[in-house]
Amino acid sequence: MSDSQPNNPLHGIKLEQVITQLQEHYGWEALAERVNINCFKTDPSVKSSLKFLRRTLWAREKVEALYISTFANQSRGKSLTKGQSSVDPWANSRKKNS
């Protein structure tokens, strides 16, 4: 069995990275407007958001969907640190549709 998940755009991305990137992109207030959950509204932090989203599947799905819709068309290279390579999560689906 292979660990590869070519059709999963979130494969290899930690929930903490998702929250951090969304917060940096939108800010807590705008993030709370897009995903109506209290951990983004009242005294928001990455730690409290992680705790809530790990326990609440429906909220996590909304946050992940926002992440995908926000960053799917952007190069992931911007969020990478030195020494990491850029990987296009949509490359396989584009090849099939061409």
Domain hosting 23: range is 12-73
Residues 6+ apart with CB under 8 A from 13: none
Number of domains comprising the chain: 1
CATH number (domain holding residue 36):
1.10.720.30
State the average pLDDT for the chain: 79
Helices (H), 27-88: 28-34, 38-41, 46-55, 57-71
pTM over 0.75: no
Residue 26 in any domain: the answer is yes
Residue 68 in any domain: the answer is yes
pLDDT over 50 (residue 84) = no
Mean pLDDT on 68-93 = 58
Residue 58 in any domain: the answer is yes
